Amino acid sequence: MASHQALLIIDYTNDFVADKGALTCGEPGQAIDENIVKLADYMRKDGDWVWFPTDLHVPFDHYHPETKLFPAHNVSDTWGRELYGKTGDWYEKNAGKETVKEFAKTRYSAFAGTDLDLRLRERGVDTVHLVGVCTDICVLHTAIDAYDLGYKIVIHKSCVASFNQAGHDWALNHFENVLGAKVVK
């Protein structure tokens, strides 16, 4: 029986999480690694989809809006774009399974310019669980699009992190009070 839930592990890469990452949130991002792995294990064993929407950039793309905002990050075929830590190990171990998939995204939202909505609807998914980084950027924009597309949204507080605590806290409040998301431990 197909699951109606999908876990989206957003942008959990070396550039966003590792100490030497180009645009790292550092310790807050590193602290959620084991929690993400536990949740991924739980959801995969329960038959849920576990997908990794992962930021992808090309060098010197002067037309991409992020070029003016952030240093180069998640550049194709670099260490920075590889999945971080134990979560990366989990993906490598489970990549061949039907319910586990990584795909590229080029904007903050995992829905923008991708076929994510189509793929979720094909599978009868009506609930998305969002984890990863950064709470107030890519996780937030993915949640807004999920809301606009009519998905139920679950945010796992112990599995999201950001560059600063104020932005993180603001986003958690926004998820719950503006998007009607369920924020769980």
Query: What local confidence, expressed as pLDDT, does residue 2 receive?
Result: 57
pLDDT of residue 1: 47
Rounded CA separation 60/49 (Å): 34
**SS3 for 113?**
coil
Which residue from 102, 97, 5 is spatially nearest to 46, judged by alpha carbons?
Answer: 5
Are the beta carbons of 12 and 87 closer than 8 angstroms? Answer: yes
pLDDT band at 3 (very low <50, low <70, confident <90, very high): confident
Q: For residues 65 and 18, which has the higher predicted lDDT (pLDDT)?
A: 18
Residue 170 has pLDDT above 60, yes or no: yes
Q: What is the predicted pLDDT for the residue at 64? A: 74
- Confidence tier at 124 by pLDDT (50, 70, 90): very high
Q: Cα–Cα distance between 157 and 172 in angstroms, integer? A: 8
* Averaged confidence pLDDT in the chain: 94
Where do the structural domains in the chain lie, given as residue ranges?
5-184
What fold, for 5-184? Rossmann fold (3.40.50)
The helix (H) or strand (E) run that includes residue 140 is: helix 140-148
pLDDT confidence of residue 72: 77
Of 39-48, 60-69, 124-133, 166-175, least confident by mean pLDDT is 60-69
Cross-sheet strand order for the sheet of 182-184: 100-105, 49-55, 5-10, 127-133, 152-161, 182-184
* Lowest-confidence segment of 28-37, 66-75, 77-86, 110-119 by average pLDDT: 66-75
Residue 15 has pLDDT above 90, yes or no: yes
